[in-house]
Structure 1
Amino acid sequence: MRVFHTSRAQESVSHPRVSRWRGNAWVALLATAAIVVLVNWIGGALYFRLDLTGDKRYTLGRSTKSTLRSLRNPLYVKCYLGGDLPLDFIRLRQGVEELLEEYRVASGYRVEFQLVDPSTADSEQARQAQQAEFMRMGLQPVSVHEQGQDGAVTERIVFPALQLGYAGQTATIQCYRPNIQLSVPEAISLSLQGLEYELTAAIDRLTQQEKPSVALIHGHGELQGIEIADWRASLAKSYQLLDVDSLARVGMLDECAFALIANPLSPFTEREKLVLDQYLVQGGSLLLALSPIQVSEDSLQQGSETLAYPRDLNLDDLLFKQGIRMANALVQDARCALLPVNTAMQGQAAQFTPLPWVYYPLLEPAENLLVTRNLNPIYSRFPSPLELTAGGSGQVRSVLLHSTERCRAVATPRLVSLAEIGDRTIFTHLSSARIPVAVAVEGKFTSLFAHRPVKAIAGGQAFDFQPQGEGGRLVVVADGSIVKNGVRIRGGKRFPLPLGFDRYTQQTFGNREFLDNLALYLGRRDDLLELRGRTLTLRLLDGATIALHRIRWQLVNMLVPTLLLLALGGILAAVRWVRFRKFGA
């Protein structure tokens, strides 16, 4: 009886401890649930994210946040990267989704997006019709060659594009741009780096209440019509284009965001120079794409040679006043585009072979400037050297485009002959410092007409002459063809080719992007330029190492999580066993 009584006493003593432990467990559970609910409520009310990456790749720019805050209606985004994709483009899709999610949150959930699979057609005929419809919508296909494990190479058509819809308007942007200097993984990383800029610029265009105007100046044989159709179409997305046939009145350009003169052939009058001079002095922006040397490419193709000689545009003094000198020379460069030449023997059928043509340099963009950062090489034809001289104080001058180090400037007049293509000794003479071909000047401008009878030059016009002023921006490119697109003839009709497209190599160079950036710079959209200039660090995996250790890493990925889970389960079971044994003692 005493033993039984002692056991009952011990059992009665243990009950309060077990009850107290169970009560504490319920309190802890309820407290944890309350804390979780409270944290979720605070997180929903005070939403924030921490970007711990070194290059702040998950932090939206100021201009992006400002643009998203200005949205008054829902913005719908379709991403045509759905379905089965090559591995590299899966990474592109993930990057696009992450960025769109950031946009959705920053916009107050006014941005909605969806993935679209562009390869849902069930027959070859339906697939071709579907692709034609996508291209009609402005989606540009990309051909991707994928190598399987058996070594076979297959070609796939991918539409890496986004279609935006806002308030009844639509816009399309490419989220992948091939780069002739980079591999596909590197080009994808570079495309993701510039995607925020492309997307924000497209949203900015869709939300514009009124487009600023851009003056396209004519009257001197400038490029127009289909020859400049591609960049006109690009400018028309953000600007109202004004064709100006005559620079007849001082002040007529004052309301324009910037003015463009594309490859003039005849000289400017003193009155026209006065109009440009006062526009710059009073804070205007001007782009001059000039060809200082006259070279007839038609004569070159027909007769195999032509005379290159200086062209008088009567702009030398205006440019020299602002610290820019154009040389009467042509640039030759070992890094150049191709020109098709008949290489057949005499008496045989014509056989055209593309060969390097040193007069078509592939110009290098400056890497330290927002306007030219991360651009493909620029396709040029017969460019001339530019020199930055000692101009007035208060100016900032920059070289935008230059040749490579294997180059030289040849004086004119000179005979340009296709026979030079076969002369390999030319390349032995190409050794010089880099030659500037495009420059920018901004800041304080002093008038060329400060001590001249401006009223007489202006034809008696009454205007407020300014001898000096600040805020102007001037860009000079010593190659007028840089804004000229090619033309394709099909079915008796002429169609413009993309700007910078080389039909012989089927490559697209950076001409369009360069000019679009110049439009932002001259149009004072420095916020978008700053966004475009962001640089992200490329952290790419070593493909050879991955292939070599493929099985090892697959086993690690499968076994390590399983072993960790089993170990954690064993530890928890041991803890529970020790705890219940303690309370049961």
Structure 2
Amino acid sequence: MTMKRKLYTSVTLLIGIVVMANLLAYEFRFRLDFTEGRQYTLSKATRDILAGLDEPVTVRAYFSENLPAHIQKARKDFQDMLVEFASRSRGQVMFEFINPNTDEAKEQEVAQKGIRPVMINVRERDQVKQQRAYLGATIDYGDKQEVIPFIQPGAAMEYALATSIKKLTIARKPKIGFLQGHGEPALYEMPQLNQQLQILYDVQAVTFSDSTSVPADVATLAIIRPTDSIPANHLAKLDTFLGRGGRLAVALNRVDGNLQNGQGNEVTTGLEGWLAQRGIMVDAAFVIDAQCATIPIQQQQGFFMLQTNVSFPYLPILSTFANHPVSSGLEQVVMEFASPVRFTGDTTLRFTPLAFSSALSDTLPAPAFFQINKDWKQDDFKARNICVAAAVEGPMVAGGTPTKVVLVSDGDFIINGPPPMQGQQSQQRQVEPDNVNLLANAIDWLSDDTGLIELRTKGVTSRPIAELSDSAKVTIKYLNFLLPVVLAILYGIWRVRRNRKVRQQRMAENYDEVK
């Protein structure tokens, strides 16, 4: 009895200590963050922004009530983040939560601010009904206001808040130039990237002429998928730009494919030769990968033509990234006809591979003919972890200022396409969020030293399934089938032996009693 009392006393004391520790932590906002990526710990970049506030910032969070648990968690996470912001800013950040669903006038007021409701499914009394839900916020600083129209559950909330506050408080945005005039897409053909960059930068087009080059106030220049030849005098202007310490982001097509005729060919603009002179080689070859996207094809099924999706290794899905500010936190980037990147320069430059193909990949030289219906086997992929994106640091021009260059060997991975013409359907597509993050991170790393780059991918939830070999798939298949049967048989044998032993012990005891 004494041992039981001691056990109960110890358990009661332990529970009391845990409860008291939680109460004290909640009262004094002391928490230990054990989440992956330290999701609830404010970064140095955010703390620096909050420390520099000269005026109060008011955050009004518009969240509906009585939401499903997984969406309600987003409200709690956002509130916890605001509490941290208020604490770190020493009261300069104030916030309130408002339920717009209380009356129609309030819904109209919220809509005028740019926050639109989303329709969610709610289960009530064994029935599923749709409910208008608000998950947005406004940030006010002086007479300026920023809007977060939708707070995605599980998204990078710290980045959304920190960048909105910085956008309101920054006096002058750095300028980012996008080179035009050689077949590059216009800014309106990259709306997802443009929207991301305009938070912190002044984005503008840059066109070369005999009398103009890169403006002096442009610190970073982006060259996205040129399709026409770049004249030598324009390449010389790039030399001048890099020589004065300008930063360069390049998304280059070295090969291109046409699914209509099933052919892939080499692309030459002159930019690849200019990069090769600096030791950055982009080979005229296709990267093929067993971990890839699919394309729709028409197949005959009896009397009907049906559209089915087939894997197309020329569209690799990248999930292996370097631990670098440009690529850290990325989980899935989809490429289109990417090429291998390698370094042939000297030790004055530092070459850092950023993104790689999977462990089942290979390269095919251009020109190539696509076999759309080919049944790809594991033996078709004899290479692994081929570099398709890289960063280079150092003096790119003899006697010039050290600079930075980021190269991605696919120029189409970030392009949405042209907007619709009047009366026509949209030709724009949605690109993967991490496609946008990759190039936005690159431009941040080249242009911005605040550290906000680390927050953009904080809180991502994508977890793609790793590609398995054929032998591993067979092993797992039979293991799933046979293991429960084997365990049941072993358990039955153990039960039989145990019951036999118990029966023998009872018979021996009865025999001794009779004797």
Q: What CA distance in whole angstroms lies between the structure 2 residues aligned with 1:255 and 1:210?
A: 12
Q: 1:159 to 1:479 in 2, by over 3 A?
A: farther
Question: What's the counterpart of residue 422 of structure 1?
Answer: 373
CA distance in 2, matches of 1:176, 1:400: 29
SS at match of 1:387: strand
Which secondary structure state, in structure 2, belongs to the residue aligned with residue 76 of structure 1?
A: strand
Is 1:137 equivalent to 2:114 in the alignment?
yes
Displacement of 1:286 in angstroms is: 0.6
The one-letter code of the counterpart of 2:242 is L
Residues 257-283 of structure 1 show CA distances to partners (whole Å, capped at 9, x for unaligned) of 210111101222222112112322321
Give the one of 23, 46, 69 matched to 1:64. 46
1:484 aligns with 2:440: no
For residues 214 and 489 of structure 1, do their structure 2 counterparts lie closer, same or farther at Cα, with a shift above 3 Å needed?
A: closer
Match of 2:324 in 1: 369
User: In structure 2, which of residues 176, 183, 189 is the aligned counterpart of residue 221 of structure 1?
Assistant: 183
Mapping of residues 516-531 of structure 1, within 5 Å: 516-531=440-455
How many residues are aligned here?
A: 433
CA distance in 1, matches of 2:229, 2:460: 46
Matched with 2:84 is 102
Question: 1:524 is aligned with what amino acid?
Answer: D
Whole-angstrom distance in 2 between the partners of 1:524 and 1:77? 25
Kindly provide the CA deviation profile for residues 297-334 of structure 1, in whole angstroms up to 9, marking residues without a partner as x. Answer: xxx33xxx243221112123432233321111111122
Q: Distance in 2 between matches of 1:396 and 1:373?
A: 18
1:214, 1:257 within 8 Å by CA — same for their partners in 2?
A: yes
With over 3 angstroms needed to count, the CA separation of the structure-2 counterparts of 1:471 and 1:77, relative to structure 1, is farther
Aligned to 2:8: none
The letter of the residue matching 2:318 is: L
Give the aligned partner of residue 358 of structure 1.
313
| Letter in structure 2 aligned against 1:440 | A
| Higher mean C-alpha deviation, range 470-479 or range 52-61 | 52-61
Distance change >3 Å, CA 427–CA 217, structure 1 → 2 = same
Residue 392 of structure 1 pairs with residue 346 of structure 2 = yes
Residue 167 in structure 1 maps to residue 123 in structure 2: no
* Structure 2 residue aligned with 1:202: 164
Aligned residue for 1:257, secondary structure, equals strand
- TM-score normalized by the length of structure 2: 0.73
**2:316 is aligned with 1:316:** no
For the pair shown, the structure with the greater C-alpha radius of gyration is: 1
Judge conservation of contact 1:220–1:264 (CA < 8 Å) in 2: yes
List gaps (5 residues or longer) in structure 1.
Answer: 1-46, 179-187, 448-466, 501-507, 538-585
Q: Distance in 2 between matches of 1:98 and 1:161?
A: 15
Aligned residue for 1:392, secondary structure, equals coil
CA contact (8 A) 1:253 1:259 kept: no
Q: Assess, with a 3 A threshold, how the Cα gap between structure 1 residues 495 and 237 changes in structure 2: closer, same or farther.
A: farther
- Gaps (5+ residues) in structure 2? 1-26, 462-515
Q: Aligned partners of 1:171 and 1:431: how far apart in 2?
A: 51
**Following the alignment from structure 2 to structure 1, what is the Cα–Cα distance between the partners of residues 353 and 108?**
42
For the 8 Å contact 1:361–1:379, the answer to whether it is kept is yes
Deviation digits for residues 10-43 of structure 1 (CA, Å, limit 9, x no counterpart):
xxxxxxxxxxxxxxxxxxxxxxxxxxxxxxxxxx
Per-residue deviation, 1:394: 4.1
Query: Is 1:440 paired with 2:391?
Result: yes
Q: Does the 8 Å contact 1:310/1:328 carry over to 2? A: yes
Separation (CA, whole Å) in 1 of partners of 2:376 and 2:68: 45
Equivalent position SS for 1:271 = helix
Q: 1:352 and 1:491 mapped to 2: Cα distance? A: 29
Q: Which residue of 2 aligns with 1:286?
A: 248
Question: Following the alignment from structure 1 to structure 2, what is the Cα–Cα distance between the partners of residues 414 and 525?
Answer: 43
TM-score calculated relative to the size of structure 1 = 0.65
Cα distance in 1, alignment partners of residues 109 and 352 from structure 2: 43
Q: Distance in 2 between matches of 1:486 and 1:471?
A: 35
Could you tell me how far 1:530 is from its partner in structure 2?
4.4
Greater share of residues in helix = 1
CA–CA distance in structure 2, aligned partners of residues 531 and 154 of structure 1: 36
Cα drift, residue 345 of structure 1: 4.9
Q: Which amino acid aligns with 2:114?
A: M
Q: What is the percentage of aligned positions where both structures have the same residue?
A: 25
Task: Give the Å deviation of 1:483.
Answer: 1.9
Q: Which amino acid aligns with 1:384?
A: S
The aligned residue for residue 580 of structure 1 is: none
Contact 1:403-1:437 at 8 Å conserved across structures: yes
Distance 1:149 1:280, change over 3 A: farther
Structure 1 counterpart of 2:373, one-letter code: G
Structure 1 distance, partners of 2:311, 2:374, is 11
The one-letter amino acid of 1:166's match is Y
How many angstroms apart in 1 are the aligned matches of 2:212 and 2:399? 15
Task: Give the root-mean-square deviation of aligned CA atoms.
Answer: 3.6
TM-superposition CA deviations, 1:68-104 (whole Å, max 9, x none)? 2333333222223341122233333222112212212
| 1:196-246 C-alpha deviation (Å, 9 max, x unpaired) | 233111211121212221111111111115422332233233222232221
Tell me how far apart the structure 2 counterparts of residues 489 and 164 of structure 1 sit (CA, whole Å): 33
Q: What is the one-letter code of the residue matched to 1:471?
A: P
Matches within 5 A, 1:451-530: 467-486=398-417, 489=420, 492-493=423-424, 495=426, 497=428, 499-500=430-431, 508-530=432-454
Match of 1:256 in 2: 218
